[in-house]
Amino acid sequence: MKEDIFSKSLDMHRKLRGKLDIRCRKDIENVRDLALVYTPGVAEPCRAIARDENELWNVTIKNNLVAVVTDGTAVLGLGDIGPAASMPVMEGKSCLFKRFAGIDSIPLAISTKDVNEFVNVVSKIAVSFGGINLEDISAPRCFEIESRLQQELDIPVFHDDQHGTAVIALAAYKNALRLTGRSLAGSRLVINGAGAAGSSIARYFLAAGVEDIIMCDVNGALCEGYPQGLNPAQVELSKVTNPEKKRGGLADVIKGADAFLGVSRPGLLTGDMVRSMAKEPVVFAMANPTPEIFPDEAFAAGAAVVATGRSDFPNQVNNCLGFPGIFRGALDVRARRINEEMKLAASEALASLVTDAELSKDYIIPSALDERVVPAVARAVAEAARRTGAARL
């Protein structure tokens, strides 16, 4: 990526004055058009909704509208920059919804760090939307916010930083294991980074059938009875991960591991650590923009396959592979929620797009620009929603 991408992006944003606009689907060219779109004709769809609120899905934009909601506390690699500074990212997410899945969305930055107030605001406006995409909210608040909104609302609530990353990472991990002759149940995985993304990935991989996961944070391996101050989500994780109760830092617990998955900080995985892993290990170094280890160093140390979060290396674990198709499938069947079965179906659909003939160390996951991705993921998610009773249609 060219060094001037940042200044060019700023120039583009200033020129466009925002990346989104709103367009009317019905032309208003004469008095009759005006009467249909607004008064007096609009009274009839209002009465239809008053009689049966489900009509809201049939006569308004709700059927294809998602709210992209943040408080600006964990924006990209920038951290807590506040709701105002988060808006370009939220607009960008809305652009991706439209480009990849034809979904309309509105960026909403909420000026509060109070969980109760945040949940209350989103709950009050949710009637207008078919789904809620939570974005760039710091841990551990993001866990409570998502959980409470899922309980209160009858539309999908999806924190993409947690679940979107997990869905794509599992698809790539399945194919990396297929390439190296391993299985989910038989692999030992070390996850470095126990924040929102790392915690969600661990829970999701456990649900998918991975049995041996060791979580590491800045203080070392999470273990039941871990002496450092863990948040509630990490306490629960410590009970279901690290089955052999290994102690120590990343360099200690990675010895003999089949795979490494990093959602942490640059440079934390060394070549010596990779050499201490099992033969032909799998390395997912997903810190952005600078990974835990660069692919050339990982390969030199013996890695069989490497994935990152960057577009300038093969095997990019990119959330664009997940959330557009997941929400497309959920909206198509008017789902009440996005459940575990729907996410697992998305991962399987994504992984299956890479055939045995195509599978290689440089191709374990499709490109975000692969036009097959959204339809395949949407179909799988919609079918899983119907099968599990999450769908209205």
Residues annotated as catalytic are 38, 93
**The tokens of 62 are what?**
């709700």
Listed in sequence order, the residues at least 6 apart from 353 whose beta carbon sits closer than 8 Å to its beta carbon are 366, 370, 372, 373, 376
Task: Return the biggest CA–CA distance within the chain.
Answer: 76
Q: Is residue 318 marked as binding? A: yes
d(CA 6, CA 77): 14
Does 64 belong to an annotated binding site? Answer: no
Cβ contacts of residue 326 below 8 Å, gap of 6+? 158, 164, 167, 338, 342, 343, 346, 377, 378, 381
CA–CA distance, 373 with 186 (Å, rounded to integer): 28
- Torsion angle of C-alpha atoms 178, 208, 232, 252, degrees rounded to 10: -30
Structure tokens at 339: 């459940």
Q: With beta carbons less than 8 A apart as the criterion, state whether 90 and 68 touch.
A: yes
Instruction: Give the C-alpha separation, 382 to 333, whole Å.
Output: 6
Alpha carbons within 13 A on the beta-carbon side of 20: 21
315 within 8 A of 308, measured Cβ to Cβ: yes
First-to-final CA distance of the chain: 44
H/E stretch holding 343 reads helix 340-352
Cα–Cα dist 298/305, whole Å: 9
Q: Is 295 exposed, middle or buried (0-12, 13-18, 19+ CB in 10 A)?
A: buried
- What is the C-alpha to C-alpha distance for residues 32 and 23, in angstroms, rounded to an integer? 19
288 annotated binding-site participant: yes
Annotated ligand binding at 136? The verdict is yes
Q: Assess whether the previous peptide bond of 140 is cis (omega < 30° from 0).
A: yes
Which residues are annotated as part of the binding site for (S)-malate? Answer: 288, 318
Annotated binding-site positions: 135-136, 161, 288, 318
Q: Which parts are annotated binding residues for a divalent metal cation?
A: 135-136, 161
